[in-house]
Structure 1
Amino acid sequence: MKLPENTFKRRLHAEPQYGCWASFGTGFSAEILATTGYDWLLIDGEHVPNTVPMVLAQLQAVAPYPSHPVVRAVNGDKDLIKQLLDIGVQTLMVPMVESAEQARELVRAMRYPPHGVRGVGGGLARATRWDSIPDYLEKAHEELCLIVQVESRKGVENVAEIAAVEGVDAVFIGPADLSIGLGHPGNPGHPEVQESIRCVVDATRAAGKACGILAPVDTDAKRYLEWGCTFVAVAIDISLMRQALKDTLSRYRDSDIGPKPSSLY
């Protein structure tokens, strides 16, 4: 059996890839999303109560479909990363990366010795297809993709050094945390926030790496694509479902349906 190809990684510098947040935490809902044509799905372990077994169920559910699963860990804990890689995560996103040293430690967590500290799961790991991939230990890193999130003032200040780290494949911008960290909570459109986002995109591209962002508002997504982002999350399943339900009800009940979903999440 051959090592599965990471199609998302292969296309990072090609045509734009459009993503959707997969936030319901079940294989059933993730599989539904996987049939809709998005290039990638973000299985969120930071703000959604996803455990490792729940992430596994979603990876298995979307495996037959072209949509590539990107898994966001709750943090950069090397033991958690080991578990996620062993269940078959090929593209990992880690939030709140603020220094090149932190980025280097994440790279080490994703690689086997002597280049890293990842433990060997062997026949216990879905990643090896239970020892059916004979050269997994030698080639695993070729199909693994590390995305680091820059979403703080410190991260922006250090983004050039972060993006330059060998083994970091892409930088992803978190507009919500960045806006609140810069003193403009709930306002990613503030000029200071926009300037910081542009800085991250430019520095990342200058390092030869791909840049992505969450942008569920159409005008934002188009602007970031023009700036050079190559993978953009343009939809969030929970927000879309909630708004569709409220809009449907409003056609039958003459009442205030409340505010639109936040543009941040």
Structure 2
Amino acid sequence: MTEFALPRNAFKAKLAARKDPVLGLWLMLGADASTELLADAGFDYVLVDGEHSPLDIDLMRRQIAAAERGASSVVVRPPVNEAWILKQLADAGAQSFIIPMVDTAEQAEAAVQACLYPPQGIRGAAGVVRAARYGRIPGYLTKANAEICVVPQVETLTAVENIEAICAVEGVDAIFIGPSDLSASMGFTGRPGAPEVDEVIRSSIARIHACGKPACTLGFDEATVAKYLGMGADMVAVGSDVTLLLRGAAELLAKHR
């Protein structure tokens, strides 16, 4: 039987190095062809978004497979922080996870454990899943944990209060700050760029760095991306397949009207 090596998680390594900004693109359309195309566009990573897109497990698996054909790392965001879906996504080949709505250290620990095999976690030990090339990666069950990357999302004032505790959870690789939900939690719904929100994000990034962890966020326009990079963010999502289509279509039409 042909054997393969365990894929190295370049996203995890680059995030941990904190040398250059890690720039990525959100994938929300669930279209295999556009995912394959964008995964070769030069971004450090592409993220398959299962939280705000109507993607079931099979559609997410197909997006992971399509993205793997490109040069970008693949990250997934499940719809919820629940063990069953994290286990299935790990078996489907996901190595990097951004976990939505993590408010406490206990919730962060639950996410980490769902993604890791025992003794560090509770992931079910099946060696013939897609992530193991259906049994063609020797020793997969004992090697996989080292390449798993777990990034909880801080999206509420409760989560902000618990940043240090979340950072202290073994297996948490970085913290992602979600500006939109955080702004809503603060009473500024629809205003993620409000000065009050910016100040919380700025201080949160500093606190995350003080814990020795990379800080991540997203900004889907040039000015917002520059603002967060200026605050010290180590990873920023700079757009999505949806925003690329929207802006590209509007710009094309404007040129020819």
User: How does the TM-score come out when normalised to structure 1?
Assistant: 0.91
Q: After the TM superposition, which residues 223-262 of structure 1 pair with which residues of structure 2 at under 5 Å, given as runs?
A: 223-253=227-257
Greater mean alpha carbon deviation, residues 163-172 or residues 57-66: 57-66
1:61 aligns to 2:66 (yes or no): yes
Q: Is the 8 A contact 1:37 1:67 kept in 2?
A: yes
Counterpart residue number, 1:260: none
Shift of 1:64: 2.6
Structure 2: which 5+ residue stretches go unaligned? none
1:73 corresponds to which of 54, 64, 78: 78
Root-mean-square deviation (Å): 1.3
2:43 corresponds to which of 38, 42, 67: 38
1:162 aligns to 2:166 (yes or no): yes
What secondary structure sits across from 1:248 in the alignment? Answer: helix
Q: Percent identity?
A: 42
Structure 1: which 5+ residue stretches go unaligned? 254-265
CA deviation vs aligned residue, 1:169-224 (integer Å, no higher than 9, x gap): 01111111111110011112212211111122112111111111111122221222
Counterpart residue number, 2:151: 147
Counterpart residue number, 2:91: 86
User: How does the TM-score come out when normalised to structure 2?
Assistant: 0.94
1:178 aligns to 2:182 (yes or no): yes
Shift of 1:252: 4.0
Q: Is the 8 A contact 2:36 2:69 kept in 1?
A: no
| Aligned equivalents of 2:7, 2:108: Cα separation in 1 | 25
Greater mean alpha carbon deviation, residues 140-149 or residues 108-117: 108-117
What secondary structure sits across from 1:9 in the alignment? Answer: helix
What secondary structure sits across from 1:93 in the alignment? Answer: strand
Letter of the 1:99 partner, please give it. Answer: T
Q: Is the 8 A contact 1:163 1:203 kept in 2?
A: no
Q: Is the 8 A contact 2:116 2:148 kept in 1?
A: no
Counterpart residue number, 1:8: 11
CA deviation vs aligned residue, 1:96-138 (integer Å, no higher than 9, x gap): 1000111111111111222221111211x01111111122111
Letter of the 2:223 partner, please give it. Answer: T
Letter of the 2:210 partner, please give it. Answer: A
CA deviation vs aligned residue, 1:71-109 (integer Å, no higher than 9, x gap): 000011101111000010000111010001111111111
What secondary structure sits across from 1:50 in the alignment? Answer: coil
Shift of 1:5: 0.1
What secondary structure sits across from 1:60 in the alignment? Answer: helix
2:221 corresponds to which of 194, 203, 217: 217
Greater mean alpha carbon deviation, residues 210-219 or residues 242-251: 242-251
1:197 aligns to 2:201 (yes or no): yes
Letter of the 1:65 partner, please give it. Answer: G
2:117 corresponds to which of 112, 115, 122: 112
Q: Which runs of 4+ in 1 moved over 6 A?
A: none
Q: Is the 8 A contact 1:18 1:40 kept in 2?
A: yes
What secondary structure sits across from 1:122 in the alignment? Answer: coil
1:102 corresponds to which of 83, 100, 107: 107
Shift of 1:26: 1.8
What secondary structure sits across from 1:189 in the alignment? Answer: coil
Greater mean alpha carbon deviation, residues 27-36 or residues 142-151: 27-36
Shift of 1:25: 0.5
Letter of the 2:81 partner, please give it. Answer: G
Counterpart residue number, 1:261: none
Shift of 1:29: 1.2
Counterpart residue number, 2:139: 135
Query: How many residues align structurally?
Result: 252
